[in-house]
Chain A
Amino acid sequence: MGYHLNFNLIWRHFDKLWGGLVLSLELALVSIAIGIAIGLTLAVIHVSGGRIVRALIGAYVEFIRNVPLILLVYLVFYGLPTAVDISYDATTSFVATLSLYAGAYLVEVFRSGLDAVPRGLIDAGKAIGLTPWQRLVHVRLPTMLRITLPALSNTFISLFKDTSVASVIAVPELTYGAQWINFNTFRIAEVYLVVTSMYLATGYAILLALRALERRFVIGR
C-alpha cells in the first residue's frame, strides 16, 4: 500500500486522451456508415437472392461473428498484405476491419427488420401502382429503418467500445493514448481510472442522444 494517486501527469498529457477519444468516435462513425452500406446491400440481396447468394452472405456473417475481433484486426493488418499486393496504414486497415465486422452484424439486423415490415404496407404500395423498386425505396426501407433504429444504436455503442482493440496495431485512439501515457509516465492506475470514466461518460452521452432520436422516430411494434 502507500500508493498515492497523482493525476498531474495525466492532465499534462490529456491531449493524447482527448485526441484519442475523438479518433475513437471517428472510427466508430466511419465504420458504422460503411457497415450500414454493407448491411443494407447484403440484406436486400439476401431477401431477394437465390440459394447460392444467400449461402455466401451467410458464410460471411457467420465467419465474422464467430472469430474474435482482435484476430480479424491482426489478419487484415499483418496477414493480408503478405498474400495480396496491397498496403495500407493501421487506421485504414482498422476501419476496413471494423466496417466488415459491423456489416456482418447489421445484415442480420436489417434482414429481420425487412421481415418485420407489415405485409399490408407492401400490398398498399402494390395497390397504388408502385414498381417493386419504388416499393423497396419508399415503403420497405424507410419502415425497416424506423423499426431497426434501437438495434442500430446498440450496434453503434458496441462499435465505439470495440475501437479500443485498434490499440493493438498502434492506432492512436483512446486506449492507445492510455498506453502511451503508461509508457511515458508510469501513472498506470490513474490513466486507466481516467480512461474508463471517459469511455463510460461518452458511451452514456451517445446512449441518451440515440434514445431521444428513437423516441422521435421508432415505430412501436
Chain B
Amino acid sequence: MLAAILYAIPFLMQGLLTTIVVSLLVVVLSTAIGGLMGIGLVYGPAPVRWLVRGFSDIVRGIPILVLIFFIYYGLPIAGLNLQPFSAAVLALTVFKSAQVIENVRGAIGSIPRGQMDAGKAVGLTFAQRLAYVIAPQAIRRFLPPWINGVTDAVKGSALVSLLGVTDLMHAMQQVIGRTYNALPLYVLGAIIYFVINYGLSALSRMLERRFSYIRE
C-alpha cells in the first residue's frame, strides 16, 4: 500500500496544482464580479436589482454539476466554444459569484442605515461613502462566510474532473485506472481535500471570533 501511495504522490501533486489554480481563479473572479453585482443589488436602481436577484436565484437553484455541463455543452450553440478548463472556471465562477452576491448583501445589510446618512451629511460622494464608511465595517461581516465559501469552490472544483480537466480528483482516477488500487488513493485524496478545506474553515472561525465584538 505504501508503494502505491508513493507511486501516486507525483501525479496527485500535479493534479492538486490544477485544483489550486482553478480554485484561485474562481475565487478572484467571483469576488470581483459578485462584489460588483452585490453592490448593484443593494444600491442599484430597480432594473439592476431585479437582474441581479434573478441571476442569483436562478444560479443557486441549479446543481453545480448541471451548471458545468450546461456551460460546457450548451454555450457552443451561442457560438462560444470553450476548452474544458475555461468552461470549468466559468461555470464555477458563475456559481460562486451568486454566493458572493449574497455574502455582500448580508454584510452591507448588517450596517445601520444611519451610517450611510451620516456620510451623506458630511458631504461624502457615493464612492467615498462606500469606501470609507460602509466597506471597513462590512468587511468584518463579509470575511467569515466568504472564506467558508472558498471551501465550496475547492469542493466544487472536484466536479471539473468530469470534463476531463486533470485536477486532483481526475489525477486520482487516472492512477486508480493504472493500479486498480482504489481505496488507499481515495482516502489519500480525501485527506488532501480535508486539510485544505479544514484549514480554510478554521481560518473562517478564527476571523469570526476575532470580529465577534461587533455583535449587537
Contacts and interface: CB of A to CB of B under 8 A. Distances in A.
Interface of A: 1, 3, 5, 62-63, 65-72, 74-75, 78-80, 82-83, 161-165, 167-168, 175, 178, 182, 188-189, 192-193, 195-196, 199-200, 203-204
A69 B183 CA distance: 16
Contact of B183 (A62, A83, A178): A83
- Size range of the chain B interface in the assembly: 35 or more
A164 B65 contact: yes
Contacts of B185: 79
B146 to A, nearest CB: 17
Contacts of B172: 71
A162 B61 CA distance: 11
B140 interface: no
B74 interface: yes
A1 B66 contact: no
B214 interface: no
Interface of B: 58, 61-67, 69-70, 73-74, 76-77, 79, 151, 154-159, 161-162, 169, 172-173, 176, 181-183, 185-187, 189-190, 193-194, 197-198, 201
B20 to A, nearest CB: 14
A196 B62 contact: yes
Contact of A79 (B66, B186, B201): B186
Given A79-B182, A168-B162, A189-B77, A200 B63 contact: no
Contact of A162 (B63, B69, B158, B193): B63
B63, B157, B198, B201 — which one has the most chain A CB atoms within 10 A of its CB?
B63
A97 B173 CA distance: 19
A20 B141 CA distance: 40
B182 A199 contact: no
Contacts of A62: 194, 198, 201
Contacts of A163: 63
Nearest to B76: A189
Contacts of A68: 154-159, 169, 193
Contacts of B63: 161-165, 175, 199
Contact of A192 (B69, B159, B189, B190): B69
A107 B18 CA distance: 33
Contact of B159 (A70, A195, A200): A70
B62 A200 contact: yes
B155 A69 contact: yes
A69 B190 CA distance: 10
